[in-house]
Amino acid sequence: MTVHTEIKANNGVDTEALMGARGAFEQMPEAAAFTFRSDCSWIEGTYSTNNLNGYFGLGQEHARKKTYTIESDHPEVFHAADRAPTPPEIVLAALASCLTGGVASVAQHRGIQLNSVNVIVEGDVDVRGILGMDPDIRNGFSAIRATFDIDADASAEDIAALVSQSQKRSAVFDILTNPTNVHVSVA
Amino acid sequence: MKRTTTVIVGAGQSGLAMSRELAARGVDHVILERGKVANSWRTERWESLRLLTPNWMNGLPGAMYAGHDRDGYMSVAELIIRFKNYARATNAPVMTETSVLRIAPFLKGYRVQTDQGAIDCECVVVATGAATLASRPGFAADLPGDIAQFTPLDYKRPGDLPPGKILVVGASASGTQIAREIQSSGREVTLAVGEHVRVPRIFRDADILTWMKITGRWSERFDQVEDLDRQRRLPSLQLTGEARGNPLDLNALQDIGIELVGRMVAIRDGAALFSGSLSNVCAAADLKMDRLLNGFDTWATEAGLQPFVDPSYKLPRTRIPTAPRLSIDLVREGFGAVVWATGFRPDHSWIDLPVFDRKGHIQHQGGVVCRGLYVMGLPFLRRRKSTFIDGAGDDARDLTTHLVDSCRQTIAA
């Protein structure tokens, strides 16, 4: 049973347009096939920088007006220069942003006004895995926790439902919780 | 060449209800049944299964339940006897042991090819049910060859399973019932849990389906609900035909020693891989259950029933294991079998008409496929209860009205 509220919430998400896109992709599923990419170059040591601009979608290549950069490095405790966050931290940031954007979109769709949203995402990793010291320890996170603090014009249950639905529809949550075939080659 | 106005395919609850309604309106028809009356109930159910609906909801048109145990849940054996008696009492024109091979347009109607010859008719009612085929994920083919595979359609009893641990994939009505039965027989069961619909069997001293029925939710119509496609895809309620707590609740299943893991997503090098999303699918199921039960509470208050029912309460949250396993090497860990309780789908492969969508689902408006072609018993076909025994009567009545009206128009034209 979905209850429609007439109160206009404004979280800055155009859900009507997104619902329209659903209709369009229903007719033309091939337009829904997107490919995203990051172009990364080594600078020095563990320091590298990613340029992100072009992507493929709606049947064609798209160029953004601006190229974004994401840099990465390792911290001083790993004897690096700490010029940028580590790659796993970028993964945590990606999850945080994906879930946060999801909360805003779902809230908009459900007519819930958000006042503030904060999420702390933590990932546990035993670095003996990366150092190849114990084959039983994995390289990646053994667990990830995300804790939301949300102020919204809604009940605690409705806020919990927003967070749950945002996980259900999150790309990064899916990438982290389900296996993906990864193909790495040398050009 | 045989001729009749209407051919009904399938003599289960939908076909028998439709036959009774057509007869009441004087429409001549036959029911084609590949086996005997209630064939899939006879051959494609496990031994201990009881109906998930209480007996008072298990009547057919003109034959409401009149037994002693209104609140009980009848065995499949009892249901088969009831269907057999109903077919006899209504003089249902069932042609048993007759398999339909193909239907195709013919003149102004259809030609139905069977293994007993062809029948020409104006209308066809597809009443073969929603669960003719068991769906398995594509990666089922990657399962190591020495591990046996079952589905709820061919699983009969725990004793038939090969030795070893058992992985049950899917935590809806079938998966949870089968997992519980196997674990209770002394075997070790791991249950892979994806999206599911958690409900208590009994809430505030009344059956959950009684709540569904009295609040009107059970009879909600297909043209009145939001996002019908999603409603039609919902997994089945985690229910079993036993009137106490809910022994299928994931907490109850963990109490008897069943291990929970996330949704099964792949098999890689002989290892079953599970999603890390168990926590969210359980949280979502808890939230949705709360919303359903809160709705019942509100309804009871507004209807002034508060003094007559037990006070409301909240059910405990689903306990999530701290670190559910993400991968299991099935052979090394001694698994003997996998039970794929990953859903069902109808078999409409014999319908030779352009009535299917891209994913192969038959397209219909509340059971009306196209002129003279009807389908029954699919999820939320016309009502939430359309897949239940209880739903067959109302749907049959509506579709008969449509059929009679459109036949009249055809004749007039």
Q: Which of A41, A60, A85 is the last residue of a domain?
A: A85
Do residues B211 and B202 touch, judged by C-beta distance below 8 A? no
Are A75 and A142 members of one domain? no
| Angstrom distance (rounded) from CA B1 to CA B21 | 26
Selecting from A143, A160, A177 the residue whose C-beta is nearest the C-beta of B275 gives A177
Same domain assignment for residues A45 and A115: no
Question: Pick from B287, B295, B358: which is nearest to A1 by CB?
Answer: B295
Q: Is A174 exposed, middle or buried, given 0-12, 13-18 or 19+ CB atoms closer than 10 A?
A: middle
A6 located within any domain: no
Q: Are residues A101 and A168 located together in one domain of the fold?
A: yes
Q: Say how far apart CA B31 and CA B9 lie, in whole Å.
A: 6
| Pairing verdict, β B271-274 and B202-203 | unpaired
Model confidence over A118-153: pLDDT tens digits? 999 999 999 999 999 998 999 999 999 999 999 999
Does A40 fall in a domain? yes
Nearest residue of chain B to residue A156 (CA atoms): B287
Which stretches of chain A sit within 8 Å of chain B by CB? 1-2, 29, 142-143, 157, 160-161, 164-165, 167-168, 173, 176-179
Q: Mapping DSSP to helix (H, G, I), strand (E, B) and coil, where does residue B317 land?
A: coil
Please answer yes or no on whether A179 and B265 come within 8 Å at the CB atom: yes
B285 within 8 A of A164, measured Cβ to Cβ: no
Same domain for A57 and A46: yes
Q: Name the more confident of A118 and B244.
A: A118
Residue B413 has pLDDT above 60, yes or no: no
Write the DSSP assignment of B158-176 as a string of letters. GGGSPSSEEEEE--SHHHH
Q: Is A117 contained in some domain?
A: yes
Closest C-alpha to A157, from B288, B184, B112, B19: B288
- Contacts of residue A136 in chain B, CB cutoff 8 Å? none
Averaged pLDDT score across all residues of chain B: 94
Which regions of chain A are under pLDDT 70?
1-7
Give percent of chain B above pLDDT 70: 99
Which pLDDT value is given to residue B242? 84
- Which pLDDT tens digit goes with each residue over B336-382? 999 999 999 999 999 999 999 988 999 999 999 999 999 999 999 99
**Tell me, what's the pLDDT at A5?**
47
Asked if residue A120 and residue A60 are part of one domain, the reply reads no
Query: What are the residues whose beta carbons fall under 8 Å from the beta carbon of B64, sequence distance 6 or more?
Result: B56
- The mean pLDDT value for B129-138 works out to 94
Give the other-Cβ count within 10 Å of A106's Cβ. 21
Pull the structure tokens for residue B409. 């128009």
Check which CATH number belongs to the domain holding A70 and give it.
3.30.300.20
Residue contact B275–A173, C-beta within 8 A? no
Same-domain status, A102 and A144? yes
**Burial label, A182 (beta-carbon count in 10 A; 0-12, 13-18, 19+):** exposed
Return the structure tokens found at B44. Answer: 């494609």
Percent of chain B scored above 90 by pLDDT? 89
Shortest distance, CA B200 to any CA of chain A (angstroms)? 18
Nearest-CA distance from A161 to chain B in Å?
7
Alpha-carbon gap, residue B115 to B9, rounded angstroms: 13
Predicted pLDDT at A27 = 86
pTM confidence score: 0.92
pLDDT of A1: 45
With respect to residue A186, please indicate whether it lies within any of the assigned structural domains.
no
Q: How many of the other CB atoms lie within 10 Å of CB of B123?
A: 25
Chain A residues whose beta carbon lies within 8 Å of the beta carbon of residue B229? none
Nearest-Cα residue of chain A relative to residue B263: A178
CA angle B315-B317-B323, nearest 5°? 160
Question: Are B262 and A177 a contacting pair at CB < 8 A?
Answer: yes
A164 and B226 within 8 Å at the Cβ level: the answer is no
Residue A32 domain boundaries: 13-85
Beta bridge partners of A56: A35, A61
Query: Do A125 and A170 sit in the same domain of this protein?
Result: yes
> Tell me, what's the pLDDT at B411?
58
Cβ distance of A2 and B290 shorter than 8 Å: no
DSSP string of A38-99, one letter each residue: -EEEEEETTEEEEEE--EEETTEEE--SS-EEEEE---GGGTS---S--HHHHHHHHHHHHH
Number of domains forming the structure of chain A: 2
pLDDT at site A7: 54
Last residue of a domain, one of A31, A56, A85: A85
Instruction: Average the pLDDT over B102-114 and give the result.
Output: 95
Write out chain B residues lying below 8 Å of A142, CB-based.
323
In order of their start, the domains of chain B are 2-132+346-412 (3.50.50.60), 135-340 (no CATH)
CA Rg value for chain B: 22
pLDDT of res. B412? 56
Tell me the count of A-B CB pairs closer than 8 A: 41
Q: What is the pLDDT of residues B54-81, one digit of tens each?
A: 999 999 999 999 889 999 999 999 999 9
Residues A172 and A123 in one domain: yes
Cβ pair A157:B290 closer than 8 A: yes
Nearest alpha carbon to residue B10 among B369, B348, B404, B364: B348
Q: What is the mean pLDDT of residues B388-404?
A: 95
In a shared domain, residues A103 and A159: yes
Which of A37, A68, A85 is the last residue before a domain boundary? A85
